[in-house]
Amino acid sequence: MIQLVDTRGVAISLFSGAGGLDLGAERAGYEVRAAVELDRDAVATMEKNFHRVSVIPGDILKVSTEEILAAARLGSAERPDLLIGGPPCTPFSKSGFWLEWKRDGLDPTASLLQEYTRVLREARPRRFVLENVYALTYNNRASRPAFDRLMREIDEAGYHCVWKVLVAADYGVAQARPRLFVLGVPKSEPLPAHPAPTHGGLWEGSRTGHASQPHVTAGQALDGLVTESEAGEVVAGKYGHLLPDIPPGDNYLFYTENRGHSNPQFRWRSKYWSFLLKLSPDKPAPTIQAQPGPYIGPFHWENRRLRVAELRRLFTFPDEFEFVGSRNSVQAQVGNSVPPLLAEKVIRALHGEQVES
């Protein structure tokens, strides 16, 4: 059961998933009372770990704001203190741009951003946090119109906001995971600021974060963790036998002529960057995806798939946090979640707080 550290008020959560944002909000002092989530396993995960939250299991397109406020035990004249949520990011994800119909903005799930702004407009929270993939800010046919519309609807709802792409590793998470965070308050209040980074290092070849503390590495995050073997963790099939020779931190490019391999297996840049990608214990993990293919990493440096306990650590979920569902379902729940440590720091920043570690 999640323990409140103080009392900042009532939060409501949309597109809650496994509750990464919710856990961060609870740690920052809010009481999350109501959540809306479509996925059955994620609903069960929320109910398993958040005993005070009333989870509405269903499609937000069919859930009214009145239902959400009633589940949060708020009267018709009461406002929630915080609205949080991360609408599904498939239409704007970087990997999604491999598909022409997504580049053209034709994915129907793009409209879920408007469900967030609908609840924002109708519930009138005192603060809000919206999380999404950083590709939503790209200047292309899919992202730019959607992002401009989002900013316009936030303004029309009576709020002003700041947005920024944050790299999770800069905030003590052992994962170099970039995500967009939009923070907003009513126009009558001063604009909030994003949290200052507490850690620093390299991300995509550039220096990022703050140099006071180095990024937490995957090796540090997993240090001392004892795990049992899991079914399906062996990487087999057509390419599985290639994984052991790839050095930690490297990917399929190890097997290319450009890298001087004596028996090249792939053409240069012929696969997605995470194909046969292996963790390095000396660096943060790269982004861990929700629905990886059979050869999409990161894989453990011991040449296997990551185990659930390891995924928890790399996302900063507590070791006792329980996920419900199949292994594939858990992967999706974790991969779609916001690291709770990052969520806590973002939400505390709404109040001008900076968490040092």
Asked if 127 and 192 touch (Cβ cutoff 8 Å), the reply is yes
Residues of the chain falling short of pLDDT 70: 1-6, 89-110, 357
- pLDDT tens-digit readout, 57-112: 999 999 999 999 999 999 888 999 999 999 996 655 544 444 453 444 444 545 79
DSSP string, 141-192: TTHHHHHHHHHHHHHHTTEEEEEEEEEGGGGT-SEE-EEEEEEEEETTS---
| Bridge partners for 286 per DSSP | 176
DSSP string, 45-92: HHHHH-TT-EEEES-GGG--HHHHHHHTT--TT---SEEEE----GGG
Length of the chain as a residue count: 357
Q: What residues are annotated to the active site? A: 89
Give the type of residue at 212. S
CATH of domain 9-213+337-349: 3.40.50.150
Q: CB-based contacts of 88: which residues, under 8 Å, 6+ apart?
A: 15, 109, 112, 336
Query: CA-CA distance, 178 to 208, in Å (whole number)?
Result: 11
The SS3 of residue 297 is coil
pLDDT of residue 355: 73
Q: Is 153 exposed, middle or buried (0-12, 13-18, 19+ CB in 10 A)?
A: middle
User: Could you give the maximum distance between any two Cα atoms of the chain, in Å?
Assistant: 72
Residue 294, both tokens: 């059979």
Query: CA-CA distance, 55 to 340, in Å (whole number)?
Result: 19
Query: CA-CA distance, 218 to 114, in Å (whole number)?
Result: 36
pLDDT of residue 91: 58
Domain boundaries, the chain: 9-213+337-349, 229-306
Of residues 153, 30, 130, the one with CA closest to residue 81: 30
Residue 119, both tokens: 């609840």
Note the pTM of the prediction, 2 decimals: 0.92
CA distances from 43 to 40, 149, 200, 208 (A): 5, 30, 35, 35
